[in-house]
Amino acid sequence: MFEKTAAAGEPRPGQERWVAPPEDVEVVATDRVDTAAGAPAGFWGTAWRSLRRRPLFLVAAGLILLVLLIAVFPGLFTGQDPRYCVVDFSLAPPSRDHWFGYDLQGCDIYARTIYGARASVLTGIGATAVFLGIGGTLGALAGFYGGPLDSIISRIAEIVYAVPLMLAAIVIMQLAEQRTIWMVIAILAAFTWPQVARIARGSVLAAKGNDYVQAATALGVGRFRVLLRHVIPNALGPVIVVTTIWLGVFIVTEATLSFLGVGLPPTEVSWGADIAAGQRQLRAGSLILFYPATALALTVLGFIMLGDALRDALDPKERR
């Protein structure tokens, strides 16, 4: 009454035409898996591949690396002491040994331009580190935990955000008995951290609603561990972009304060102070202020270009 069941591994009656030995099956190119390339690139790997093909990123990275090299090892680019001045050489024209000539005090302008990068870059990097540490941490906590913590941090950020950075810096620096680089760094970070806090809060709010966060929570992973291991790494893109741009802003702000005479002390070689000193000679036909001004402009341009390239690579909506 019932047909006999086929043995294991044998085709049923009438199905022989659909079964073929493995050695008779031809594997075409579309069936092969390319294992030489390794695992598929993740978000950061894809972003890096995109950045490497962007001329904007390569130019910006070259400018920034050059400025960092000058700031860390200025002795590689000049053997002159920027603080050694000879009044007899006041406003002397450029020569083979002194490419940019001398300023009013008889100081080598090229040496001061090279050594001026150290103060500006140190101030920018230091302010950015504190700015990111305070603003990024508070923004991430506010966005992830929400509730009263979010309300308190948001209200404090709004109060600080309402204070103009330049006005606050000028008032505080004028009241200070002794001005240092660390004081400038603290002031710049103290009045700008709400900028990155708002970006970090929005990124964390967007990331914590993803499925992988809910899956980690369902598996019993602690909330703080979920924040560190799953939310923050996937919310760093916009934060990195805004941090890069603000690094250039900090360098300009420090130069502006030094230009106004309320920034770094006179003992520090600064682009802003040299621009202010060169401004007095501009009407006399001396162009000595253009050397530190050009160095400042190229440095800030490098960080702004880097921020634009990172924005296009890390934000899928901005990719063109």
Q: What is the pLDDT of residue 31?
A: 47
Q: What is the pLDDT of residue 114?
A: 93
Give start and end residues of each alpha helix (H) in 17-108: 43-52, 55-72
Give start and end residues of each alpha helix (H) in the chain: 43-52, 55-72, 109-145, 147-161, 165-175, 181-190, 193-207, 211-218, 223-226, 236-260, 271-279, 290-314
Model pLDDT for residues 97-130, shown as the tens digit of each residue? 888 888 888 889 999 999 999 988 999 999 999 9
What's the pTM value of the predicted model, to 2 decimals? 0.79
Q: What is the pLDDT of residue 1?
A: 45
Q: Identify residue 15 by its one-letter amino acid code.
A: Q
**Residue 35, CA distances (Å) to 30, 45, 46, 47, 49 in order:** 14, 17, 18, 21, 19
Quickly count: other Cβ atoms within 10 Å of residue 200's Cβ.
29
Model pLDDT for residues 172-231, shown as the tens digit of each residue? 998 888 888 899 999 999 999 999 999 999 999 988 888 888 888 888 888 888 888 888
Structure tokens at 132: 């990111």
